[in-house]
Amino acid sequence: MSAGTETLEQRPAPDKRKSGGGHSGDAAGMPPTDISNPAYFHKVVDCQWACPAHTPVPEYIRLIAAGRYTEAYMVNWKSNVLPGILGRTCDRPCEPACRRGRVEEEPVAICRLKRVAADNKSDISALLPPKPAKKNGKRIALIGAGPAALTVVRDLAPLGYELVVYDADKKGGGMIRSQIPRFRLPEEVIDEEVGYILDRGFVETRFGTRIDSMKQLLSENYDAVFVGSGAPRGRDLELPGRKEAAKNIHIGIDWLSNVSFEHIDKIGKRVIVLGGGNTAMDCCRTSRRLGGDDVKVIVRSGFDEMKASPWEKEDAMHEGIPIFNFLVPKEFTHKNGKLTGVTFEKVVAKQDDKGRRQLVPSGEPDQHFECDDVLIAVGQENAFPWIERDCGIEFDKWNMPKVNETTFQSTNPKVFFGGDAAFGPKNIIWAVAHGHDAAVSIDKFCNGEDVSKRPPPMTNLVSQKMGIHEWSYDNDISNELRHKVPMRDQKIALKDIRAEVELGFDQKLGYAETQRCLNCDVQTVFSAPLCIECDACMDICPVDCISFTPNAPEPDLRQMLSAPADNLTQDLYVSVPLKTSRVLVKDEDVCLHCGLCAERCPTGAWDMQKFLLEITHATEARCSRA
């Protein structure tokens, strides 16, 4: 019916505001969205996009809702390797990204749902990749058995690599085992998940062995070396009194690993923890369980600026630990060689000339807090005293190895880095993501391929239509607010350092929480030729994210929609010009993926299609080529 369009364009539009207005082919308008680019729909799945390992979150949440815990676990296992561990400890970058948090108060409890899958799964041994029948002739050395190295092992073992894993500690797991307190993560969970990995093929563990010389290791003719040694050095505070009172002043991470390995089982009654990060939170909560009755956290910065995650601060305060802010430690006081307390200078936050926040002395008198022990948790550093500077691995001015951010290769092409060792302390999920990438590089390197050529992700886009208004996903989302994870009775929890504080969601609560997920992977796919511009989709959309409008440059277009599209991190989905020469614009920001637009569309111009993206790991990349 091109006649209609001609009529509209030939005669001067009498009313610019009416639906027929606008002009096609506006050169300055936004180009149509290219949905064949996998990044477009991937970005819509906010949680998966934010997850460093790109775990297909809504996919596993639906499996949990269906009671298919084992499959949900395996979706996780494939992406993030350590679901039971991460389901209790992950830093969860996915949750602040979760769309639910933008249309309601709080995001879906993505992390704790992962634990539901882990807690309720059945035996997975038959689902793990088969052990390789024979060696492929390549030998790799791995230094450290933390999450980064374990991921490399997991990805390379099925391909027949001989993997030699060194760790100074007696068991695998890295800081997951040595640092994270047992009341947050039971040891059985670590044993189980580390076990799945180390049991996958030709893996040799040399635990209890510290590598003292990279040169020496390189001379052993490994085909490649992976450095996953973490950031093992805790920062100290060189203040007056530090030496004199040394017996009762401890470096947080050293102290925590001594607790984990049962070399320390008590602390004084009055404890001060210095620092505002997650290590400080673990130190204070651990102290509460080892005899500390009066435990305080004292921090330089303000409360909101503290590095610890909000939930870690909450958990600490819930255990009766006060947090004091804007106090800078000045001196350790002592008497007869014994620590008596810490003196602090009071500061306030001010903006300097350049608008930067700075802490300046408040002028108030110093404050002294008495205590029996101090735990210093003011940061962690990398340390590579065992890497000789003349073995081909270049270091930068901060004494960090020069590592390629995509390939994780160092300047010695045989040596790869990952986890905290690569770019400084981060967290478990980043270590896993690095491990996947490093494994791809190592495999390519060992096969004489170009490590800079990365395997594309695997994607799949499938219509969810089952009947006229029936979808193969549950589009009826729950209005309930985020569910709280049940906790162990505090009296019992504080008595036993091994008693896990969080009990986890049971199946019923877990199910209820799954129903809050908006299924952001079920994409709204628009077909312009089918659209008759009846407005039905625009009228039904519960969050006003659909508009039919003349095209315009993006900043203008964002203000011309049914509701302003002010979240610039979220894309606009723009169609080719329609019959009236307007375009369809969908603001992806707060779409609930409820499918109502598709249900109300008379012509099927909207369809709900599930977009599954899986990162190609070394295992799959090699197998699919073979």
Partner 1 sequence: MTYITKPKLHHPKLPVNALGFTHRDYEGSVSTLCAGCGHDSISAAIIQACFEIDLPPHRLAKLSGIGCSSKTPTYFLGQSHGFNTVHGRMPSVLTGANLANRDLIYMGVSGDGDSASIGLGQFAHCIRRGVNMVYIVENNGVYGLTKGQFSATADKGSKSKKGVANPDSPMDLVSLALIAGASFVGRSFSGDKRQLVELIKAAIGHQGSAFLDVISPCIAFNNHAGSTKSFDYVREHNEAANALEFLEGRQEITIDHDPGTTVNVTQHDGSVLRLRKLAEDHDPTDRTSVMNFIQRHNARGEIVTGLLYVEPDSEDLHHRLGVTKRPLNSLSDAELCPGSGALQKINEGLR
Q: Residue numbers of the site for ligand FAD (CB under 6 A)?
A: 89-91, 143-149, 166-169, 174-176, 179-180, 210-211, 228-230, 232, 253, 256, 278-279, 282, 386, 419-421, 425-429, 431
- Closest approach, Cβ 3 to ligand SF4, in A, equals 20
Candidates 39-47, 338-346, 445-453, 597-605: pick the segment binding ligand SF4 (CB under 6 A).
597-605
Tokens of 271: 């404890």
- 184 with 88: CB under 8 angstroms? yes
Complex with ligand FAD: residue 210 or 389, whichever CB lies closer: 210
Beta bridge partners of 297: 273, 323
* Beta-carbon contacts of residue 567 (< 8 Å; ≥ 6 apart): 102, 589
Q: 328 has which bridge partners?
A: 345
- Residue 533 interacts with ligand SF4 (CB under 6 A)? yes
3-state secondary structure of 517: coil
Under 8 Å between Cβ of 366 and 330: yes
Residue whose entry in the numeric block shows the structure tokens 């207005």: 21
Shortest distance, position 362 Cβ to ligand FAD, whole Å: 31
Q: Which does 552 bind (CB under 5 to 8 A by kind): ligand FAD, ligand SF4, partner 1, none?
A: none
Name the binder of 428 from partner 1, ligand SF4, ligand FAD, none, CB < 5-8 A by kind: ligand FAD
545, 583, 612, 613: which one contacts ligand SF4 (CB under 6 A)? 545
What is the 8-class DSSP label of residue 127? G
Sorted by sequence, the CB contacts under 8 Å of residue 402 that are 6+ apart come out as: 393, 394, 395, 396, 410, 411
Residue of 606, 607, 618, 621 that binds ligand SF4 (CB under 6 A) = 606
Q: Does 328 bind partner 1 (CB under 8 A)?
A: no
Q: If binding is defined by CB under 8 A, does position 596 make contact with partner 1?
A: yes
Q: How far is the CB of 62 from partner 1 (least distance, A)?
A: 16
Contact partner, 131, from partner 1, ligand FAD, ligand SF4, none, Cβ < 5-8 Å per class: none
**If residue 250 lies in a helix (H) or strand (E), which one and from where to where?**
strand 249-251
Neighbour-count burial for 381-408, b at 16+ CB within 10 Å, e otherwise: ebebebbeeebebeeeeeebbebbeebb
Q: Residue 14 interacts with partner 1 (CB under 8 A)?
A: yes
CB atoms within 10 A of CB 359: 16
143 binds, among ligand FAD, ligand SF4, partner 1, none (CB under 5 to 8 A by kind): ligand FAD
How many other β-carbons are positioned within 10 Å of the β-carbon of residue 361?
11
List C-alpha distances in Å: 109 to 112, 191, 483, 532: 6, 25, 8, 40
Partner whose binding site includes residue 524, from partner 1, ligand SF4, ligand FAD, none (CB under 5 to 8 Å by kind): ligand SF4
Selected binder of ligand SF4 within 213, 362, 603, 624 (CB under 6 A) = 603
Choose the one of partner 1, ligand FAD, ligand SF4, none that binds residue 174, judging by a C-beta under 5 to 8 angstroms depending on kind: ligand FAD
Tell me how far CA of residue 57 lies from CA of 60, 63, 90, 364, in angstroms: 5, 10, 14, 50
Phi, psi of 342 (to 5 degrees): -135, 135
Choose one: 214-222, 354-362, 417-425, 590-598; the region binding partner 1 (CB under 8 A): 590-598
**In terms of Cα–Cα distance, which of 79, 70, 88 is closest to 51?**
79
Q: How far is the CB of 290 from ligand SF4 (least distance, A)?
A: 51
Q: Would you count residue 593 as binding ligand SF4 (CB under 6 A)?
A: yes
Size of the site for ligand SF4 (CB under 6 A): 28
- Answer with the entry of ligand SF4, ligand FAD, partner 1, none that 168 interacts with (C-beta below 5 to 8 A by kind): ligand FAD
Contact 341, 333 (CB under 8 A): yes
Q: Are residues 592 and 542 in contact, defined by beta-carbon separation less than 8 angstroms?
A: yes
Round to the nearest angstrom and report the end-to-end CA distance of the chain.
51
Instruction: Examine residue 595 and tell whether it contacts ligand SF4 (CB under 6 A).
Output: yes
The nearer residue to ligand FAD, 180 or 546, going by C-beta atoms, is: 180
- The smaller minimum CB distance to ligand SF4, of residues 342 and 541, is found at 541
Question: Which residue do the tokens 């894993």 mark?
Answer: 165
394 binds partner 1, rule: CB under 8 A: no
Give strand pairing partners of 523.
609
- Which one of ligand SF4, partner 1, ligand FAD, none interacts with residue 481, CB within 5 to 8 A by kind? none
Among 546, 572, 612, 615, binds ligand SF4 (CB under 6 A): 546
Minimum separation from the CB atom of position 616 to ligand FAD (A): 21
Contact region with partner 1 (CB under 8 A), list: 113-121, 276-284, 471-479, 500-508: 471-479
Q: CB of 422: closest distance to ligand FAD in angstroms?
A: 8
CA separation (Å) from 96 to 41, 47, 108? 19, 8, 9
Strand partners, 359: 349
The identity of residue 464, as a single letter, is: Q
Contacts with ligand SF4, residue ranges (CB under 6 A)? 524, 531-537, 540-543, 545-546, 586, 591-597, 600-603, 605-606
